């Protein structure tokens, strides 16, 4: 079995056997397009994973992003990593990993992060339905090519279509019911290192819903190697119970 590569920057990799993700084949997002998107920061203040504001004081990200104790702060409202005008910065009150999270299989790759205060930005709604067809958007500050050493300063986005479990299982062993796949058979567009924990989005504008969390893949944007996301509608009970 191919070792799954978490979409996590190797510079602050909490699990040596994984390598993280960034947007490949995308375009710059419009400033303010994804107000719920957050940047997880290390003790050095550097971005290493994304996340989504789902309540005023709760962020949903990937469990593999919070392994190793790197998470020290959360920044909301960023577009350019070098421009912090108008952004919010929070410390972390608590981190709750999904009880079914398995570091070996990447099953249930979810974590909830409680912020030190309430954000003024609007949270994203959660998708509650099973998906059989969709065009998604994923966004982040990850690397823009596989193996790149630095993240993108500007927020990038890319459109990726839904991939069935059957098709994805032909590309990878170990696709579980907690996972959702998206991407192109020909490759070329994908999330990549540094995008881990970020959103897989359905819809647009005020009707955007969070369908998945960037989790893993083999390389980035390779042909027949889709991006694998943690499926939000399969974790609703845990999310609602934890954040109530």
Task: Just list the catalytic residues.
Answer: 64, 109, 196
User: What's the CA gap between 45 and 147, in Å, rounded?
Assistant: 22
- 65 vs 111: CA distance, rounded Å: 8
Q: Give the integer Cα–Cα distance in Å for 4 and 230.
A: 13
Q: What is the DSSP-derived secondary structure letter of residue 133?
A: S
C-alpha span between 84 and 12 (Å, rounded): 22
CA-only gyration radius of the chain, Å:
16
- What DSSP letter does each residue of 199-241 carry, written as one string? EEEES-GGG-EEEEEEEEESSSS-TT--EEEEEGGGSHHHHHH
Q: What is the spatial order of strands in the sheet that 58-61 belongs to?
A: 88-90, 73-76, 37-41, 47-55, 58-61, 111-115, 92-97
Tracing tokens 């109530």 back to the chain, one arrives at 244
């Amino acid at each position: 079995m191919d070792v799954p590569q978490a979409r996590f920057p190797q510079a602050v990799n909490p699990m040596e056997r994984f390598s993280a993700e960034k947007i490949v084949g995308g375009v710059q997002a419009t400033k303010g397009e994804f107000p719920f998107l957050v940047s997880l920061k290390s003790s050095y203040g550097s971005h290493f994973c994304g996340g989504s504001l789902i309540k005023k004081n709760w962020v949903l990200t990937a469990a593999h992003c919070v392994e190793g104790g790197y998470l020290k702060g959360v920044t909301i409202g960023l577009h350019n990593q070098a421009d912090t005008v108008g952004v919010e910065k929070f410390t972390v009150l608590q981190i709750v990993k999904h009880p079914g999270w398995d570091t070996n299989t990447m099953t249930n790759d979810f974590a909830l992060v409680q912020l030190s205060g309430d954000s003024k930005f609007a949270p994203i709604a959660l998708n509650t339905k099973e998906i059989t067809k969709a065009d998604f958007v994923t966004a982040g500050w990850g690397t823009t090519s596989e193996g790149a050493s630095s993240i993108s300063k500007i927020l990038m986005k890319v459109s990726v279509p839904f991939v069935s479990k059957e098709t994805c299982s032909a590309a990878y062993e170990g696709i579980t019911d907690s996972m959702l796949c998206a991407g192109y058979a020909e490759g070329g567009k994908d999330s990549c290192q540094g995008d881990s924990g970020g959103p897989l989005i359905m819809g647009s504008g005020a009707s955007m819903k969070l369908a998945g969390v960037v989790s893993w893949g083999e390389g980035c944007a390779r042909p027949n190697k889709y991006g694998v996301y943690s499926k939000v509608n399969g974790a609703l009970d845990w999310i609602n119970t934890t954040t109530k």
